Amino acid sequence: MIPYVCKPDPRVRRVVEDRDQKFLMGAVEEAYNAVECGHGKPYGAVIVRNDEVVVSCHNMVLNNTDPTAHAEVKAIREACEKLKKIDLSDCEMYASCEPCPMCFGAIQLSRIKRLVYGAKAENAITIGGLEDFISDALRGTGFYHKANMEIKRADGNGAIIAEQVFEKTKAKFSRN
């Protein structure tokens, strides 16, 4: 007997990709806002629940003089406050860049069910935001692999556009 193999409906995948692209572009817009407003480096995050944006945040490290005011952490704090709960297991996060260990820890603690990110952490090195050891630490320990959530790097245009944020803003953060 030949086993029945069900192929995914390409229309469903397209809807998910379009949805992911839409929310990821919100995170990318926030990344640009961080730089344009002088609030911090180019990172943005959007938290979504039931296809509705709960919060949209950008890096506020420079503005708040707080090294923990990363976009992802700010988004989690604001979402918890807005939703009046600390369990965000019914939410998804869209981040313009692969989260650092601190942000990833916060994402895990908040129980976010799904993370979609645009640029790889290595792209952030061009602006002096992350060092090689951070991305190595994430991958070397199996940090992502042990996570109890779906983690996806954006495909196609979403990833390309997210990576361009660093290229387009690196002059503001070049080390002299």
Q: Looking at the annotation, which residues are catalytic?
A: 72
The SS3 call for residue 47 is strand
CB 112, CB 46: distance < 8 Å: no
CB 31, CB 44: distance < 8 Å: yes
Distance of CA 157 to the CA centre of its chain: 15
What is the distance between the alpha carbons of residues 60 and 63, in angstroms, rounded to a whole number? 5
Q: At what angle do helices 10-36 and 156-169 cross, to 10 degrees?
A: 10
What is the distance between the alpha carbons of residues 24 and 6, in angstroms, rounded to a whole number? 29
User: What single DSSP character describes residue 173?
Assistant: G
Strand order from edge to edge, sheet including 44-49:
52-58, 44-49, 92-97, 114-119, 150-153
What tokens were used for 61? 């490290």
